[in-house]
Amino acid sequence: MENKILVTRSSMPPFEEYVDEIKDIWESHWMTNMGVKHCELQARLKEYLKVENMDLLVNGHMAIELSLQALGFSEGEVITTPFTFASTTHAIVRNGLKPVFCDIDPVTYTMDVTKLEELITDKTVAILPVHVYGHICNVDEIERIAKKHNLKVVYDAAHAFGETVDGKGVGSFGDVSCFSFHATKVYNTIEGGAVCFKDEQFGKDIYRLKNFGIKNEEVVDGVGANAKMNEFCAAMGICNLKHVDSEIQKRKKVVERYREHLEGVKGIQLAAVQDKVQPNYAYFPAVFDKDVFGKDRDEVFEKLSDNGIGARKYFYPLTNEFDCYKGQFDASNTPIALKISKQVLTLPLYADLDIADVDRICKVILE
Ligand SMILES: *Cc1c(COP(=O)(O)O)cnc(C)c1O
């Protein structure tokens, strides 16, 4: 059998570069608690992401979970999408808030803003949309609706690292945008995350929440968690940031090759291409319509798997179908999301994926 192809493979810097970066840590013995690496990475990322304010966190999940806390929400409804990773919905529920699921757009798979307003009630406190696969939400319309109803907007920007809309950093939309720097993302700090925000008070609140609610040595005035990024992760982030542009360029080549093979094939819908958006090529979703293509998603998945190729049913099931939420939500209220989740596969995509492997993957799909 030919080599196995995994769905993703983490970007890592040259070993020597990382070793060089962590030498200072051995000299200072300062391994965590907002040390030198943490501060350096924060400054560099702020510039790279073109945002005004940012704070680093232990992971993307805590970025979302603590953002909702920092905004002061302890009850009410948050309008979100079920077509996402478990984290988005769990972050809402773990705060004692109720997720209200909005359906998705059939082309970008982001929140369908035409269905958003009808879900707003007097209990709604926030909107939590997801830039899923790096497809940017309809940020203008979401902002308009949020302003009109006096709601906060927290974006799950875990998939959208480094993207810009009309030259504007994607992290600058909404009240807060949350990034993930998990090992499997376009840019990683091993585990890590960040919040980008506008309001200074929010910055103070989230900083305290990530550090046990400690104000100073003698005053603890918040019931905080521990969600600090440590120095080893920050050092990895500093190294990976030097290479991220070239990694994204390599991903672009892979995506272009996929498109050469699959664009125009009847019954396969590929990732959306958005005007004015500088993409990061994070994922390459393909949606299979059995009636037209002849094979359904599961058949394609099995065929790829038989050939040693790992694709991922991402996102399936929807979060409103999870066992842990049994009986609480009805996925038939989000019919487009339900349909897409049964038809979608994300194809293998990472910077060092061989073009020859892309050819092989497409051959298996089309055969
Ligand atoms: C990865 C991811 C998260 C969570 O980020 P972690 O850094 O893994 O905690 C949240 N939302 C989405 C959409 C993600 O893909």
Tens-place pLDDT, residues 241-258? 999 999 999 999 999 999
- Grade residue 148 by pLDDT with cuts at 50, 70 and 90: very high
Of 7, 84, 85, 104, which is best to mutate to test ligand 1, by the most ligand atoms within 8 angstroms of its C-beta?
85
Judged by DSSP in three states, 80 sits in strand
Band (pLDDT 50/70/90 cuts) for residue 219 is very high
Q: What is the mean pLDDT of residues 53-61?
A: 98
Give residues with Cβ within 8 angstroms of 251, minimum separation 6.
186, 280, 281, 282, 349, 350, 351
Query: Which two structure tokens, joined as six digits, stand for 30?
Result: 């300062």
Tell me the pLDDT band of 123, cut-offs 50, 70 and 90.
very high
Atom of ligand 1 nearest to the CA of 181: 7
Rg for the chain (alpha carbons), in Å? 21
Q: Identity (one letter) of the amino acid at 127?
A: I
Q: Could you tell me the fold of the domain covering 15-102+111-238?
A: Aspartate Aminotransferase; domain 2 (3.40.640)
Q: Would you place residue 15 in the very low, low, confident or very high pLDDT band (cuts 50, 70, 90)?
A: very high
For residue 55, the model assigns a pLDDT of 98
Residue 209 CA to ligand 1 center (angstroms) comes to 19
Q: How many CA atoms lie within 13 A of 277 on its CB side?
A: 20
Q: Is 65 in the pocket of ligand 1 (CB under 6 A)?
A: no
In the β-sheet with 268-270, what is the strand arrangement from edge to edge?
268-270, 285-288, 344-346
Mean pLDDT score, 213-238 = 96
SS3 278: strand
The residues spanned by each domain of the chain are 15-102+111-238, 244-366
User: In 74-135, which residue ranges form alpha helices assigned H by DSSP?
Assistant: 86-93
Contact 114, 125 (CB under 8 A): no
CA 61 to centroid of ligand 1, rounded, Å: 6
Atom of ligand 1 nearest to the CA of 63: 9
Give the closest residue to 286 by CA, choosing from 276, 300, 274, 275: 300
159 Cβ closer than 6 Å to some ligand 1 atom? yes
Three-state DSSP at 57 gives strand
Nearest to 198 by CA among 97, 303, 70: 70
Q: Would you state the pLDDT for residue 2?
A: 62
- Say whether pLDDT at 29 is over 60: yes
Is 260:149 a contact under the CB 8 Å cutoff?
no
CB count in 10 Å sphere of residue 239: 22
For the Cβ of 110 lying below 6 angstroms from any atom of ligand 1, the answer is no
Q: Looking at the CA of residue 91, tell me the nearest atom of ligand 1.
A: 10
Q: Which residue has the CA at smallest separation from atom 6 of ligand 1? A: 60
pLDDT at 348 over 90: yes
pLDDT at 225: 98
Determine if ligand 1 sits within 6 Å of the CB of residue 346: no
Question: What rounded mean pLDDT belongs to the chain?
Answer: 97
Fold of 244-366: Aspartate Aminotransferase, domain 1 (3.90.1150)
Q: Ligand 1 center to residue 179 CA distance, Å?
A: 8
* Tokens describing residue 318: 């929807």
Does position 260 have pLDDT exceeding 70, yes or no?
Answer: yes
Q: How far is CA 212 from CA 66, 67, 189, 283, in A?
A: 12, 15, 22, 35
Ligand 1 in reach of 131 Cβ (< 6 A): no
Task: Give the other-Cβ count within 10 Å of 356's Cβ.
Answer: 9
Report which of 20, 24, 57, 18 is spatially closest to residue 243, judged by C-alpha positions: 18
Q: What is the pLDDT of residue 103?
A: 98
Peptide bond into 315 cis (omega under 30): yes
Tell me the percentage of the chain whose pLDDT exceeds 70: 99
- Res 1 pLDDT > 90: no
The predicted model scores a pTM of 0.97
Measured from the CB, is residue 59 less than 6 Å from ligand 1? yes
Q: How far apart are CA 228 and CA 37, in angstroms?
A: 12
Q: State the pLDDT at residue 3.
A: 80
SS3 85: coil
Q: Which residue's alpha carbon is at the smallest distance from atom 7 of ligand 1?
A: 60
Q: Kindly list the distances between the CA atom of residue 5 and the CA atoms of 73, 182, 283, 358, in Å, as whole numbers in the listed order.
A: 43, 20, 15, 10
Site to substitute for ligand 1 among 65, 87, 136, most atoms within 8 A of C-beta: 87
Query: Quick one: pLDDT at residue 62?
Result: 98
How far, in Å, from the CA of 59 to the mean position of ligand 1? 8
Token reading at 225? 């968690």
Is the Cβ–Cβ distance between 168 and 146 less than 8 Å? no
